[in-house]
A and B are shown apart, each in its own frame.
Chain A
Amino acid sequence: MVDIRAALEAIKASPYKEVRVLAPHTGVVRFAGDLAAGALVEGPGGLWKEKLGTRLATIERERNPQPITSPEKGQISRIRRELDGAFVQAGEELLLLRHYLSREEVLEEVLKQALFLFVAPERARYFFVPDVDIKIKVSGPKAVTVREGDDLFIMSRMKRETSLRYAGPGGVIYAVYFTHTRHVDAGRPLIGVCPPDLVAEIEDVVRRVQTEWQEQA
């Protein structure tokens, strides 16, 4: 069984993810001028992540200088200044970034460990089958227990309706991520399922994350 509290404590102990920035290919590396350990850097931005992150270094091969940009927002924890101006092999570590987790990322991480997400197989509108729907409306989703092979959803797309069976570990529906008025893209989660005895614990952890989590730089 998943120890959800322990997972949260582990995240709290190291509330960041370390990202190694490697040389994409061989070449001579030149770090950006004023970059030093402890400096804050930005990740890709824009609505479509079309704006590159902070320029960290330039790697030049065959008179073809290429920028190396930060893949994540964070702080430089290590920079290998000794490589400045040196020829490096592909895969050589140039910098180590520390990306501090946001509240949403922590929640995502915790729920990923605790819940089983059943995803939409194709873009369509989804409904619960009538008896499940009534139960959810009356007592909430946590009152519904599902098992592998249950007829759980009706998938409606382009004037056709197909029933969809639940596939995954049995448990109670912890969260519903769709409404019948909107189309759900393929691959997006429909429901999150967890063992019945974990519900209270997850709720507590989520509440704690939402109220107590301090986002760092």
Chain B
Amino acid sequence: MEQDKLVLHLAERLAYIRDVFGGERRENIHLLTTKLEDYRLRESGLSPEERREAVLALKDLFSVVESKLEAALTPMNRVRIVRHPQRVCLRDILENVYDNYTEIGGQDEHSIDPAIVIARAYLTRKLGKVTVNQSVMVIGHEKGHGQEFRNGGSAKPWGNAKALQYMRVAETENIPVHTYVFTPGAFPIEDTPGAAQQIAANLYGMSSLRVPVITVFSEGGSGGAEAVALADKRLMFSHGYYSVISPEGAAAIEGHARDGERVSPDLVKTCAARMRITAQDNLRMGYIDRIIQEPCLGARSHHYEFFRGLRQELLRATDEVALTVRGFAPIRFIALRNRRKQVTKGMDFEKAYVRWNLSQAAQIRLINKRHKKYRDLSRHAAPDHTPASRHLIGLWQELRWGVYSYFKYNLLRRHRQRVSDSLGELKSEWNLLWDRALAPIRHILQKLRGPSSRVSAETARQLTELSEWDDDQEQRGNWIYVSPRAREDRAVTCPNSREFGCLDIWGPDLYGEFAGVCPNCGHHFPMEYQWYLHNLFDPGSFFEFSADVEASNPLDMPDLDAKLAEAKQRTGHKSGCLTFEARIHDIRLVVAMFLGSFRNGTVGAAEGEKFIRAAERAKRKRFPFLAYVHATGGIRIQEGTNGLIQMPRCTMAVRRYIDAGGLYLVAYDTNSYAGPVASFLGCSPYQFGIRSANVGFAGPGVIAETTGLSLEPHYHNVYKALARGHIQGIWDRREVRYNLNQALQTMGGRNLYYK
């Protein structure tokens, strides 16, 4: 009976190997198949003892071949491993790693999103004779061994919202959060709260979560993974992958596939290798902290030894995070040093008890440490060619602004504010008393004078004359910069002409006086970023900084160097993000502008670095910060995780800026999609769209391809985004300058530099 079970198990292992290797390693698979078949044919003629020996021999053969195959695993094999229905899933981990748990995010299909599992669990440790249960909040994606309703672990926006809600609960209860990433990517729909906006909210929330967060990656697919993966310690299964895009998606882009066209398996394999998606690659690049070793060919539900190892790693990681921020610095230092020594000697973490709840001071240290950790990531991928002398001057200026701002805003303004508040209160009290004292005299005087009917000349003028045209509000076609397309003598058809009957527009009119706006329906044709640069900001107020941070090719992708060189030559910029200081009606602000003409506005390590520096500059100088998105096609996939990591990095920079009292505005023009919208752009409380722009997570083609949903036309249009509550308003291009000024005045107030 036991032999039968073993043979069945071996057959399952063989099927698994076949799935993982597809058409590869045929000789090994053939050997195992033949041996298994051979045993089955001989089985009936064998004595029980011979059967036992034969099965054991077969088992050994399987182990030997599996070890051999393990050494030959390619990145694409690893992708197949993590997607296999036999792969460990979150509920296996809850069952085998934690001592007890209760699911709180729903039950199977009766859940707001079955792709997300949330549970309160505890890990038990022995402290001498005392048993201690340490609570954690476990949140992660659930693939459910191929259960269809789990959607393959693709979390819907409301699933991510639920995850964030329970992270906040953990924060209230002061218990650590363990998150598990088992997702090929988020379910890319815009229904409220919206895939992009919710991932942005999660990143924004997690960046300052006041409890330790430990993340374990198995399948880390793009933004969907980031939604729960902003952590103090990021661990990864040895057979997992963590990537900005699935290998199939990368191959479709690389192979210029159209309308769901299939690309060759070889190209998919090549892309999987080039993208550096494995645990080893990510560890080398610094995007994960440690690798959790899995058994040969990946962990499955029956690998109990693996679960024991995972439990140890989780205890170790949570302890480490808590220990690095708890208590006094010298004691912390000694404790950590002792612990490191014990770890090298093979410490059993079950027997070492560390409290995981944090004091307020420790929570602040934890958040600062988390921000520093992310700030230091991916710097190698964004080379800065600023000359040393300019670099030194920059550092000196930063120091100067820091000191100046500290004295002006932290010391002087705070005290001045207090004095001013007290004086204000005194004055209003005095006015009240004075009014009451004079009231009888005023009453008598009014009686003597009789009713007054005199109206001042100014009031009379305002009431009787027509209001004057406000030149500031509307530039009336007198644009400082005119598009070069205005020189072409040709007619242009509005894309809405079928719907609204717009007549053809003469190019010089459209791109000149009309600022690219259809005079009939108001459709906004895309304009060059220079148009905004010159027509939005006060003339002569433009001052660029961080111009020497350069987009690079950290993964040595073929052709990317040539493509980047072409973009740099054509645009005259070294990256797709232009960072500068400028003024609008004399209000100084820092701007990060994403240029659609530079690799479609994609964000890589250089763009992320520049954006962060801009946010830091705005924070240091107490200026409002504007992200003007001329266009962005998402994260630059050719940079792999170096690009993806910009999502949490930049969101954290925004969080630091907003928490310090800054005013962060985002304006979307033309098309803005994917990672940037799902992180540092989407987290702004004030987002505006320029008419006819599109804002969303994935484009219509990707949504149709991945979800099978057919989308209504204009699904990503800003009006739809406004109706869904993703943005706060829509601006006409000709009035952006006026509206920006208005936004700065109303959202920032008189002292808008610092709230």
Looking across the interface, which residue of chain A has its beta carbon closest to that of B710?
A47
A62 within 8 A of partner (CB):
yes
User: A64 to B712, Cβ gap below 8 A?
Assistant: no
B702 within 8 A of partner (CB):
no
- Binary contact readout B48-61 vs A (1 if CB under 8 angstroms, 0 otherwise): 00000000000000
B-side contacts of A47, CB under 8 Å: 710, 712
Q: Which of A25, A50, A64, A66 contacts B713 (CB 8 A)?
A: A50
User: B491 to A61, Cβ gap below 8 A?
Assistant: yes
B-side contacts of A64, CB under 8 Å: 490-493, 504
A-side contacts of B504, CB under 8 Å: 25, 61-62, 64
User: A63 to B489, Cβ gap below 8 A?
Assistant: yes
Question: How far does the alpha carbon of A48 sit from the alpha carbon of B700 in the complex, in Å?
Answer: 14
**CB-contacts of A117-172 with B (<8 A):** none
Question: How far does the alpha carbon of A64 sit from the alpha carbon of B493 in the complex, in Å?
Answer: 7
**CB-contacts of B698-726 with A (<8 A):** 710, 712-713
A46 within 8 A of partner (CB):
yes
* Size category, B interface: 10 to 19
* Size category, A interface: 10 to 19
Question: How far does the alpha carbon of A61 sit from the alpha carbon of B493 in the complex, in Å?
Answer: 10
User: B490 to A63, Cβ gap below 8 A?
Assistant: yes
B21 within 8 A of partner (CB):
no
Say how far B712's CB is from chain A's closest CB, in angstroms.
6
Looking across the interface, which residue of chain A has its beta carbon closest to that of B504?
A64
**CB-contacts of B478-529 with A (<8 A):** 488-493, 504, 506
Say how far B494's CB is from chain A's closest CB, in angstroms.
11
**CB-contacts of A76-110 with B (<8 A):** none
Question: How far does the alpha carbon of A25 sit from the alpha carbon of B504 in the complex, in Å?
Answer: 10
**CB-contacts of A14-52 with B (<8 A):** 25, 46-48, 50
Looking across the interface, which residue of chain B has its beta carbon closest to that of A46?
B710
Question: How far does the alpha carbon of A64 sit from the alpha carbon of B488 in the complex, in Å?
Answer: 11
Question: How far does the alpha carbon of A61 sit from the alpha carbon of B489 in the complex, in Å?
Answer: 11
Say how far A136's CB is from chain B's closest CB, in angstroms.
37
User: B712 to A62, Cβ gap below 8 A?
Assistant: no
B-side contacts of A61, CB under 8 Å: 491, 504
User: B490 to A48, Cβ gap below 8 A?
Assistant: no
Question: How far does the alpha carbon of A62 sit from the alpha carbon of B508 in the complex, in Å?
Answer: 12
Known interface pairs A61-B504, A64-B504; A48-B712 also in contact (CB < 8 Å) = yes
Q: Which of B489, B490, B493, B712 contacts A66 (CB 8 A)?
A: B493
Say how far B479's CB is from chain A's closest CB, in angstroms.
23
A-side contacts of B712, CB under 8 Å: 47-48
B-side contacts of A62, CB under 8 Å: 489-491, 504, 506
B-side contacts of A46, CB under 8 Å: 710
Say how far A40's CB is from chain B's closest CB, in angstroms.
22
Looking across the interface, which residue of chain B has its beta carbon closest to that of A64?
B491
Question: How far does the alpha carbon of A50 sit from the alpha carbon of B710 in the complex, in Å?
Answer: 11
Q: Can you list 17 contacts pairing A with B, beta carbon distance less than 8 Å? A: A25-B504, A47-B710, A48-B712, A48-B713, A50-B713, A61-B491, A62-B489, A62-B491, A62-B504, A62-B506, A63-B490, A63-B491, A64-B490, A64-B491, A64-B492, A64-B493, A66-B493
Q: Which residues of B contact A (CB under 8 A)?
A: 488-493, 504, 506, 710, 712-713
Q: Which 10 A-B pairs have the closest CB atoms?
A: A62-B491, A63-B490, A64-B491, A50-B713, A47-B710, A62-B490, A66-B493, A48-B713, A64-B490, A48-B712
